[in-house]
């Protein structure tokens, strides 16, 4: 085939995957599995959930279509990854409908994390640092899957962050096969976002947020499949990139967990005391809070693009630039809670 034909097929794949997502999302909105507002909800009227079904179905379909383009060494890893995403999505969708105990979801996440940990990093790398690397990857995958789920509380927030991560990962990865997987997810998210931001016709639901969180966490693990030895100074740039992109999510969730632990609040109990939720409760418009969180994600990517972490000074500068906006945001929200006389949150 000529280059022009290849470009047209590539464009058709992008458009087709996006339209498939939009079609399924629209259908899910009509089916109407409702998310009824409760005390901890940010929305006030019953709204359909399950938009993540469109995201994940389009992602899986788009990924399967490009199987003939994948190199053999990566094919098994990608098939296994798609299988784990499909499994977690099914469990999460059933939970959206039936409201299962949190331990069932956690067990499903751990199973998926174990599979990804065993298939993505290179075998020699796992053998070299098995007892250290394995638990770190497992904790990372489960933590980000949950953290992303926790952050899916305002219109467009989680989906937008996921889309930004996909764009940065696609342009930074040296493994085009996994870059195409990121593009498939991006198309699924683009098909969903017009129905969720700025006004929500439908929510993503756990079916989307947990699967997207797991995939984004996996993007940080993927670069480990090409190295045989790892130290603090040889961590792949793509791995650090994902950490920087998701730092706003990680900071918010970690800050909230520490604060709730200090206040002796139940950690596993649903609540609306994340920093982004407190900003909304204190009068900041939901669309603005979402844009702030998107900007944190973009800022993390920009830091990695323009500051090579080749020296200790550069590394300290990069992490300082990453953390300072979060501290300013935290102080802003703390001040807002005082203005609104919210003492316990």
**Predicted pLDDT at 186:** 98
Query: 95 a known binding residue?
Result: no
CA 220 to chain centre: 11
Encode the chain (345 residues) as per-residue pLDDT tens digits.
677 788 899 999 999 999 999 999 999 998 867 766 665 656 567 789 899 999 999 999 999 999 887 777 778 889 999 999 999 999 999 998 888 888 899 999 999 999 998 888 655 566 566 567 788 999 999 999 999 999 999 999 999 999 999 999 999 998 888 999 999 999 999 999 999 998 889 999 999 999 999 999 999 999 887 776 776 677 889 999 999 999 999 999 999 999 999 888 877 677 788 999 999 999 999 999 999 999 999 999 999 999 999 889 999 999 999 999 999 999 999 999 998 878 776
Query: 155 a known binding residue?
Result: no
**Predicted pLDDT at 266:** 78
Q: Render 78-96 in DSSP notation, one character per residue.
A: HHHHHHHHHHHHHHHHHHH
Give every CB contact of residue 242 below 8 A, 6+ residues apart in sequence: 165, 169, 216, 217, 219, 220
In the chain, the largest separation of any two C-alpha atoms, in whole Å, equals: 66
d(C-alpha 40, C-alpha 46), whole Å: 14
Cis ω before 198 (30° cut-off from 0) = yes
Q: How far, CA to CA in Å, does 257 sit from each of 2, 155, 200, 218, 262?
A: 54, 22, 28, 23, 9
Model's pTM, two decimal places? 0.93
Give every CB contact of residue 278 below 8 A, 6+ residues apart in sequence: 333, 336, 337, 342, 345
d(C-alpha 102, C-alpha 269), whole Å: 9
> Are the beta carbons of 340 and 283 closer than 8 angstroms?
yes
Phi, psi (degrees; rounded to nearest 5) at 255: -60, -45
d(C-alpha 145, C-alpha 113), whole Å: 10
- Identify which of 80, 59, 23, 60 has the alpha carbon closest to the alpha carbon of residue 185: 59
**Predicted pLDDT at 341:** 79
The C-alpha angle with vertex 322 and arms to 182 and 226, in degrees rounded to 5, equals 40
């Amino acid at each position: 085939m000529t280059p022009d034909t290849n470009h047209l097929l590539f464009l058709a794949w992008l458009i087709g995957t996006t339209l498939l997502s939009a079609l399924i999302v629209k259908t899910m909105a009509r089916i109407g599995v409702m998310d009824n507002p409760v005390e901890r909800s940010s929305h006030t009227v019953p709204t359909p959930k399950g938009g993540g079904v469109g995201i994940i179905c389009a992602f899986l379909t788009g990924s399967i279509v490009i199987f003939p383009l994948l190199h053999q060494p990566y094919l098994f890893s990608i098939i296994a990854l798609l299988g784990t995403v499909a499994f977690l999505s099914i469990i999460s969708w059933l939970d959206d409908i039936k409201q299962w105990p949190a331990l069932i979801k956690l067990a499903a996440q751990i199973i998926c994390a174990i599979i990804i940990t065993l298939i993505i990093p290179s075998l020699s790398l796992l053998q070299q640092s098995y007892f250290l690397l394995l638990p770190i990857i497992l904790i990372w995958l489960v933590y980000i899957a949950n953290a992303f789920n926790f952050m899916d509380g305002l219109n467009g927030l989680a989906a937008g962050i996921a889309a930004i991560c996909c764009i940065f990962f696609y342009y930074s990865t040296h493994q085009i096969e996994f870059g195409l997987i990121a593009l498939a997810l991006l198309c699924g998210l683009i098909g969903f976002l017009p129905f969720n931001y700025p006004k929500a016709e439908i929510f993503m639901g756990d079916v989307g947020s947990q699967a997207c969180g797991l995939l984004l966490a996996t993007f940080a693990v993927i670069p480990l499949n090409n190295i045989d030895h790892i130290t603090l100074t040889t961590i792949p740039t793509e791995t650090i990139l994902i950490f920087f992109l998701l730092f706003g999510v990680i900071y918010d969730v970690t800050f909230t967990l520490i604060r709730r632990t200090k206040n002796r609040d139940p950690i596993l109990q649903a609540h609306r005391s994340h920093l982004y939720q407190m900003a909304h409760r204190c009068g900041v418009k939901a669309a603005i809070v979402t844009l702030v969180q998107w900007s944190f994600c973009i800022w993390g990517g920009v830091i990695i693009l323009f500051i090579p972490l080749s020296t200790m000074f550069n590394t300290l500068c990069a992490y300082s630039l990453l953390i300072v906006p979060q501290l300013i945001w935290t102080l802003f929200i703390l001040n807002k809670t005082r203005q609104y006389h919210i003492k316990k949150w």
